[in-house]
Every structure is written in structure tokens, then in C-alpha cells.
Chains A and B, each alone.
Chain A
Amino acid sequence: MTWRYRFTFIAIVFLFAVVIVRLFYWQVVKAQELSQLGQLQYGTAVTLFPQRGEIKTSDGFPIATDRISYLVFANPKEIKNKGEAAVLLSSALGVDKASISAQLALDKFWVPLATGVESKTKDEINNFDLPGIGFEQQYTRFYPEASMAAQLLGFVGKDEFGNDKGYFGLEGYYNRLLQGKVGTAVQIHDAFGKPILASISQQSAQIDGSSLILSINRPIQFLVERVLKENVEKYGATSGMIGIMDPKTGEILAMASYPSFDPRDYQDYSETLYKNPFITDTYEPGSTFKPLVMSAAMDANLVTPTTKCTICSGPVPVGGYLIHTWDDKYFKDTTMTEVIQHSDNTGMVFVAQKLGLDRMISYLNKFGIGDLTGIDLQGEVAPGLKPKDQWYAVDLATTGFGQGISVTPIELLDAIAAIANNGQRMEPHIVTAVEDSNGNLVKIPPKIVDSPISPETAKVMTEIMVNAVDKGEASWTKLDGYRIAGKTGTASIPVNGHYDPTKTIASFVGFAPADNPKFAMIVVLNKPTASIYGAETAAPIFFEIAKDILSYYGIPPSGQ
């Protein structure tokens, strides 16, 4: 009999073990899956999409926000007269009838018909009273100011999973902040499908995206874009850029490029227009670079405004090349003030040679030339300075007048703004504050990057630049009654190893009012055909905009 007891005992233990293993499988291994299955029987799992943050100008106006739109879908099995439905839907949605018919012909319970449909169109479709047509609310990016600051904003497209993602500009650079965090929840229903009390069990709440508050001044941005477009067409240029900065804080007040694109229909434009040329395109700055080299030499106590140029009576031979002035006019014993006033290349060769290679590189580094400025936009490039051992005598000489060296417009604007800001170079930035979904505001303070020149040198250089505006090539277009510091630039474009004399980059850089600058501005026109000179193209644009900005800020003429 003993073996029978043993057999029964082992059999019972074995059966218990099987039950325990099975329980472990359901309770531990499959626990989460079963839990979700159970939840689905009395509720629905809902994905909570966060609202993307807004991008606001300095006046709090959103230039990029979310708008409610709808996904229109159909249940083909419920639609009886598919032909009539296809005609009505295609006319309302503006979609090809054949494509709607093809979708409705599918043997499915759910087919998408169109996305991003406006509320007005949704109401129109509702009035058709078609069975089997439904709507799902969603958000799409909305730009109340249309294409304003498009290259600054970037655009919102889709990532590989079909989720919204920002590309280029601020949408790209601040994508993580703007997009927020997706949440999930379970909506519990009663037998009639109505939600019951304490119905939503939030498994993880969504976090709406933070909003960006920009330093961009909307009226100034609007003005700049309009003037730029008009003048690119007027002067027959291939493109143009304008940037305006507050030299005291580094805040960008306006930044515009033309041609641009419309972020609402970005896919209709060439990809080359997506990037912001103000931070991604490099060019040889030409004479607009002269104030930097001149102020460096003055800061190093190598020249003064009255120092006479001893090599300016004719073309200057350097390293086997003969360097001319832009108009082949030469001024013997010209002073440094006059060198900037006449935009004298030989005078700048004199200054560059006095400065020497080591000091030249050192000052250029302090002015931020060759480095990223650190602006909070996606895609900034910095061409970098050549290694010291690759500089020849002629490179030093041509750098004096801004040829043979490449910069981005933002680099040059930031460097010139340092002269306007008593020699202190600020980090340029667009975003002044970030506001989270609870309304908490985090301000981004201005940042001093370097002090390339002393306040005294900056003051003297400002006077030299004011003199250049009052008596230089662009004096015909200057604003009467205002003291404005500036410098024209007409840079040849290198093509296949030589400079094409008929194609130039015309530019003007300056700041106003000279005594207490409210803004620094750079205007760059690419290959203008009406005139190749900066004094005849970029300068009038600068002063046209400056006039309106001074009026906008309520700064009266000084009467001088």
C-alpha cells in the first residue's frame, strides 16, 4: 500500500506545481498584457497629444501657433451611394475625385480621406449629411503672419514615425522644448458608452510644449521684409539679406532673407530656401570689414585717426601682386579717418601691415571672426580662419580690406555691434524667454562674449564711421539730422580662382544713433545688376529702414 500513498502524494504535489507555474505565468508574465486587455473591455486607451508651443514676437503676438484642423475619414461599408459621396467630398476637400473613389472602394471599416481640413470645410461636409463620414480633431501649425520670418522659424514636418517634428530655424533648434511630451490615459465607459465618474485614469499625463518669446520686433521685421523684397527686385539682385540687432544685448530685432518660402506649404519650395542664409552663407565682406581692422590697429596703439598713410600715393605691391583702390584714385599722406571715408584699399594695406599677422589673428578671434557666434538657430556655420602658417603677405594685406576672408552676415553684424557697444561683443540671440505650459517664464539673460577693443577705441571708431557716412560715397543717401555710423562694402566674388569684376556683393553695415545706438544693421545684396556698388544699392536700403526705425523708436533728429 505504501507506494500508492507515495504515488498519490507525488501526483498531488505535481498538480499543485503545475497550477503554481500556470498562475505565475498569468499573474506575473502576462500580467501587463491581461491588465491592458481588461482595461480595453471597460475603457479605451487614449493617446494624449501635447499641444506644440507657440513662437511669439517681442509684443507677445504668436507668429507660429497651432490651429484646430480635422482628419476626414470614412467607413466605406456604411456609404451606399459611393459615386455621389465621392463627387461631394472631392468638391469640398479639393481632392481629386478618382482618389476619393479609390479610397471609398476599399473593403475596410476605416479609410482616411484628407488631413489638415479647416473647420469651415468640416461644417460644409457635415451639411451633406453623408453616412459613414467622420472627423478626428488634430492640430496643424498655423502662421498668422503668413511667410514672415520663415527662414528664422523653420517649419514643422513629420519624423519617421509620422509625428510632428521641427526642421530648420527655431522649430528645429528648439524642437524638444516646443513639442512637449505625449501622454497616455484610459477612458472608462459605462454600458451606454458614456464616460463614468473618475473616468480617466491618467497613466502618464501629456506635457504641452513650451512657448518661445523672441526678441524679434514684429513691426520692424514686417518693414524689413517688405523693403528687402522691393529693393532686391529694384536693383536686380539675385538675393538679399538684412539683419538688425540691439548692440547692447545681442537681441536680434529682425532678420530677413529674400527669396524665402512659405512654411505652410514648405514642400512646394526648393530645399535650398529652407536654410537661413544669414547664418549659413559665407561671403567676402569687402570694405564693411575695414572698421574691424582699423579699430584693431587703433586699439593696439599702432595708428590714430590722424596717422598718415605713407604708401597711399599709388598702387601697393605686395607678394607679387599690385593692390589698387576701388576707383584707382590715390591720396598721398591720407589720414586713417580719410582711409575709411574713401574706402581706401591701399590705406588698409598700410594698417594691416602695421598690425602684423599675430595681432591680426588675435583681434579677428576677439571679434568672433572664424567662430560660431552661438546664435540659437539651427545650421550656423563658421568658415574659420586659415592656420597661421598658411598666411602669405598678400593674405594679410587683402584681409585689411575684407577680401580673401569669408564671414557670415551674422558674424560681421555681431562684430560691428561690438564697436557700437563700447567694445563689448554680445552673443546674438533670438529667444529672450521660454514660457512653459503652466505659464512659468524663464528669461535668457544677455551674454557678453568678449571685449575686443576698449571703450575709447570704440568711441573713436564710431566717429570715423560717422565721418564715412557724412562724407563718404553713400553721403548722398544719408539721413539728414541724424548721426549714423556706417560703412559701405562692394566685394568682388571669387569665381574659379579669380574675381569677376561684374559680379559683386553690395553691402552696408552700421548703427544708429551713433551716440547711443539702438540698433546695428547689415544689408547684403547678392549680385545687384542696377549698380554693382554698395553705396548705390545697399546704403539706400539701410537708410530707408533706419529712417522708419528711428521714427518708430521716437528718436528725433539731433539737428546736426
Chain B
Amino acid sequence: MKKPALTILFLIFVILVLSVVKTFVSNRISTSGMVLGAIEDKISYYKTENALLSEKLYSMSSLTNISNQAEKLGFVEEKTNFVLTNPLPIALKQ
């Protein structure tokens, strides 16, 4: 009769330990929602920041913008067309 009693006591002990652990863990993570919320807010903030910076980067590196800026700085297109043909001999023998 001793053995079943020990087994029951052991099981009760295990149940109690697990209950304590569960209470402890639940207590620890019960406020994680707030941390998670803060992390999600941060992710969302960085995503938005990233998108806004990308937009700025695209606008500034667009050829349309570069061309406008170059024009403002006084750059003009070189219209002269140089063509390098076969060089003539220095002295033509005629």
C-alpha cells in the first residue's frame, strides 16, 4: 500500500511544482504585450522612416532632378561633334 501512496504524493508534488512554474511564467510574460506593442510600434516607425528616405533618395537621384540641378548650376550640353578620322600623312607626296 506504500508504493501507490508515494506515487500519488509524487504526482501531487509535480502538479504543485508545475502550477508554481506556470504562475511564475505567466506572471513574467503577462506584461510582454506592452513590450511587444512597443517593438511593433518601433518596427512600424522604422518601416515608415525607411519608406520616406527611399522616396527622398529616388527623388534626388532621378535624372529629372539631376538635370534640373545641373541646369541651375550652369551646366550646358556640349553641341560640338568631334570626329577622329584617319590621320593624314605629315607630308603628302604629290
Contacts and interface: CB of A to CB of B under 8 A. Distances in A.
Interface of A: 61-62, 65-68, 119, 137, 142, 144-146, 148, 190, 192, 194-197, 199, 218-219, 222, 479-481, 547, 556-557, 559
A559 B48 contact: no
A196 B84 CA distance: 74
A194 B34 contact: yes
A197 B63 contact: no
B64 A68 contact: no
Contact of A197 (B32, B51, B54, B61): B32
Interface of B is mostly: helix
B58 interface: yes
A67 B51 contact: yes
Nearest to A479: B81
Given A119-B52, A195-B40, A145 B86 contact: no
A68 B83 contact: no
Contacts of A195: 33, 36-37, 40
25 contacts: A61-B61, A65-B54, A67-B55, A68-B55, A142-B58, A144-B58, A144-B62, A144-B64, A145-B63, A146-B64, A192-B33, A192-B34, A195-B33, A195-B40, A196-B32, A197-B32, A199-B36, A218-B63, A222-B63, A222-B67, A479-B81, A480-B81, A481-B84, A557-B83, A557-B84
A199 B52 contact: no
A559 B84 contact: yes
B59 interface: yes
B83 A481 contact: yes
Contacts of A559: 84-86
Contacts of B55: 65, 67-68, 142, 144
A68 B33 contact: no
A393 to B, nearest CB: 47
Contact of A145 (B33, B51, B64, B83): B64
Given A68-B55, A481-B84, A557-B83, A197 B64 contact: no
A431 to B, nearest CB: 20
Nearest to A222: B63
Contact of A194 (B37, B67, B86): B37
B82 to A, nearest CB: 9
Given A197-B36, A481-B85, A62 B64 contact: no
B83 A480 contact: yes
Given A144-B58, A145-B62, A146-B64, A190 B33 contact: yes
A190 B33 CA distance: 8
Nearest 5 pairs of A and B residues by beta carbon? A144-B58, A196-B33, A481-B83, A194-B37, A144-B62
Nearest to A548: B77
A134 to B, nearest CB: 16
Given A195-B37, A196-B33, 16 more contacts: A61-B61, A65-B54, A65-B55, A68-B52, A144-B58, A144-B59, A145-B62, A146-B64, A195-B36, A195-B40, A199-B36, A479-B81, A480-B85, A481-B85, A557-B83, A559-B86
B81 A547 contact: yes
Nearest to B40: A195
B58 A65 contact: yes
B36 A196 contact: yes
A68 B51 contact: yes
A550 B51 CA distance: 37
Given A218-B63, A222-B67, A557-B84, A61 B36 contact: no
Contacts of B8: none
Contacts of A557: 83-85
Contacts of B63: 145, 148, 218-219, 222
A222 B64 CA distance: 8
B91 interface: no
Contacts of B34: 192, 194
Given A137-B48, A481-B84, A199 B59 contact: no
Contacts of A67: 51, 55
A62 B33 contact: no
Nearest to A221: B63
B5 interface: no
A119 B54 CA distance: 13
Contacts of A62: 58
B29 interface: yes
A119 B51 CA distance: 11
A194 B58 contact: no
A454 B67 CA distance: 44
Nearest to B59: A144
Contacts of B32: 196-197
